[in-house]
Amino acid sequence: MPELHRLAEHHAPALLRFERENRAYFARSVPDRGDAYFAGFDGRHAALLAEQAAGLCHFHVLLDDEGEVLGRFNLVDAVDGHAGLGYRVAERAAGRGLATEGVRRVCELARDAYGLRRLTAEAALSNPASLTVLRRTGFTPVGEVLLSGKPALRHVRDLGAAQGPVPVRRAGGAPG
């Protein structure tokens, strides 16, 4: 059963493998990260962990039983109870409900572990799978935007009051 883990330093090799293996797949629906992303991955990973330690962002990986990354679910720019949601799931894991389940879990964490009250997310009109995930997880479209020059919909989800802590797996697999 895949588990959602808070991003840690030791996830770097599996995360880089995930991004490389799925680069062409992701580029079909979201902008490509570019060669510089891969060349400077170690520094980028360290910077993300620093942002997370400062409470500015909350990054998560969905891992299979072997520790391979099936997806990533990120809460970015966490300010005043609001954050942006971004996610991507490996091609080999697509169509199994993992994106929907991962978004549900990260929404619970956003509310219960991180104290967030509202999330926004954007999905290109050319990405019906992401639009469906957002709809199934309680996001409401609030307007059209351009996402890397492509028509997209901005969505919002109000998270309501916290209902108690939701454990997130920390480094070493212990609930945090």
CATH of the domain at 100: 3.40.630.30
For the chain, the domain total comes to 1
User: How does pLDDT run across 33-92, given as a tens digit for each residue?
Assistant: 999 999 999 999 999 999 999 999 999 999 999 999 999 999 999 999 999 999 999 999
- Does residue 176 lie within any of the structural domains? no
- Does residue 13 lie within any of the structural domains? yes
- Does residue 165 lie within any of the structural domains? no
Write down the mean pLDDT value for the chain: 91
Q: How far apart are CA 51 and CA 58, in angstroms?
A: 8
- Does residue 70 lie within any of the structural domains? yes
| pLDDT given for residue 1 in this prediction | 81
User: How does pLDDT run across 122-135, given as a tens digit for each residue?
Assistant: 999 999 999 999 99
- Does residue 18 lie within any of the structural domains? yes
Range of the domain at 51: 3-158
Q: Where does the pLDDT of residue 166 fall: very low under 50, low under 70, confident under 90, or very high at 90 and above?
A: very low
- Does residue 163 lie within any of the structural domains? no
Q: Are 151 and 125 in contact (CB under 8 A)?
A: yes
- Does residue 128 lie within any of the structural domains? yes
Would you say residue 118 has pLDDT above 80? Answer: yes
- Does residue 137 lie within any of the structural domains? yes
Q: Are 124 and 152 in contact (CB under 8 A)?
A: yes
| pLDDT given for residue 161 in this prediction | 54
